[in-house]
Structure 1
Amino acid sequence: MPTTLPVPIEFELPEGWHAAPPDEAGAPGAAFVALHPHPDAGFTANITIDGEFRPDAAALPEIAQESVERLRQTAMSVEITGRREIGSAEAPGLTQTLAVSAVVGGLLRDLVQSQVYLSMLDVADPRKRSVIRLVLTATASQHPTVLDDFRDFVRTVRPDTDTGAGAAS
């Protein structure tokens, strides 16, 4: 069953990408999944969104490392190939890139994950912090061709200030 984001967000999908039910896309813990229209060697590049309320004081690098450790429990290998903080003090973020070898669909695949972590404070109570995670997963060979789409997507992500709207646009 898909999860719900702790804060509503809006975003625009890159041209050609389409939404898919998280359970059917093999990402039951995600709140949203988008699939690339052209699979590479049987693997479909995807963008997932998840997030959680973080009442602790964990910094974004610590939260990103938690994701690496969770991925290491299911993948053959995970290597951090890049990590940097982005944004500002008011809207901090972090990006990390991972090289992942994992069995997917019965085949060992070399994948690349580009992850973006966005820290969002509750407007009504700034002591409440949520972290939204945006993840692009693609084959190592397709990653360079879909990375610009992911960057364009990330630039459109913003809090949904219309209280009657859903989590995605």
Structure 2
Amino acid sequence: MPGTLPVPLEIELPQGWESAPPDKVGAPHAAFVALHKASQGQGFTPNITVTGHTIEGSPGLHRLAEESVQRLRENVGAVDIVKRTEVGTSSAPGLVDAPGIVQNLRIQAAVNEQPMELAQSQFILVLENEKQRSELVQIEVALTAKTSQLQDVLEDFQDFVAALRPATQT
């Protein structure tokens, strides 16, 4: 059963991407998964995942980023941090007042029992729950691709992140 987001988001997929059931593509904790259609059948399909959960207290962005890296190390394999940068609202205009951090990672993983070097770009942000103002939520948006595929899909990921918006109340 796929994960859920503690706050609803409006998601716009870039052209050439299609949503996929998280539990069917090996991402059972994700609330949303998108696959790059043109890359299917090339040994690894670049994907975008969105996960989220409520957080206790006020953990710093760097701590949240470290926790994400640690989860990857425990579940996937060796992870190297290539770059980590705090970002403001200008990087994600749809998510006004949301502090965030972007980290680029290199991951040594086994895909279909074959060793593979993957690149992952994560955008981690903290939002206040509109329904429960005292509650903070962490949203993690990640692009994962083979290092050789990254340049082909990175701009799409940036467009995806820029278009994310809190869902409007109806």
Q: Does 1:57 align with 2:54?
A: no
CA displacement at 1:45 relative to structure 2: 0.4
Amino acid at match of 2:33: V
Unaligned runs of 5+ in 2: 90-95
State how far apart, in whole Å, the 2-side matches of 1:121 and 1:109 are.
Answer: 37
Counterpart residue number, 2:24: 24
Tell me how far 1:40 sits from its aligned partner. Answer: 6.8
In structure 2, C-alpha distance between the alignment counterparts of 1:31 and 1:57, rounded to whole Å: 23
Please show how residues 39-50 of structure 1 align to structure 2 within 5 Å. Answer: 39=40, 41-50=42-51
Q: After TM superposition, give the deviation of residue 84 of structure 1 in Å.
A: 0.6
TM-score by length of 1: 0.91
Between the aligned partners of 1:76 and 1:117, the Cα distance in structure 2 is 20
Corresponding letter in the other structure for 1:153:
F
| Contact 1:40/1:139, CA 8 A, preserved across alignment | no
Q: Distance in 1 between matches of 2:45 and 2:97?
A: 35
Runs (5+) with no aligned partner, structure 1: 164-169
Q: Distance in 1 between matches of 2:55 and 2:75?
A: 24
Q: Give identity over the alignment, percent.
A: 47
What displacement does 1:11 show?
Answer: 1.5
Q: Is the CA contact 2:6–2:129 (under 8 Å) kept in the aligned structure 1? A: no
Q: CA deviation at 1:104?
A: 1.2
Q: Give the structure with the higher percent helix.
A: 2
Give distance in 1, aligned partners of 2:83 and 2:137.
23
Q: Count matched residues.
A: 163
Alignment of structure 1 residues 59-138 onto 2, 5 Å: 59-88=60-89, 90-138=97-145
Structure 2 distance, partners of 1:75, 1:124, is 35
- Tell me which amino acid in the other structure corresponds to 1:129: L
CA shift for structure 1 position 26: 0.5
User: How far is 1:160 from its partner?
Assistant: 0.3
Q: Greater shift after overlay, 153-162 or 117-126?
A: 117-126
Give 4+ residue runs of structure 1 displaced > 6 Å after superposition: none
> What TM-score do you get using the length of structure 2 for normalisation?
0.91
CA offsets per residue over residues 76-101 of structure 1, 9 Å max, x none? 31000010111159320110010001
SS at structure 2 position matched to 1:138? strand
Q: Partners of 2:67 and 2:158 in 1: how far apart?
A: 23
Contact kept, 8 Å, 1:50 with 1:133, in 2: the verdict is yes
Asked whether the 8 Å contact 1:40–1:142 carries over to 2, the reply is no
Q: Does structure 2 retain, via aligned residues, the 8 Å contact 1:5–1:31?
A: yes
CA contact (8 A) 2:85 2:102 kept: yes
Shift of 1:124: 4.2
Whole-angstrom CA distance in 1 between matches of 2:156 and 2:57:
33
- Structure-2 change in CA distance of 1:120 and 1:132 (3 Å): same
User: In structure 2, what is the Cα distance between the partners aligned to 1:140 and 1:98?
Assistant: 10
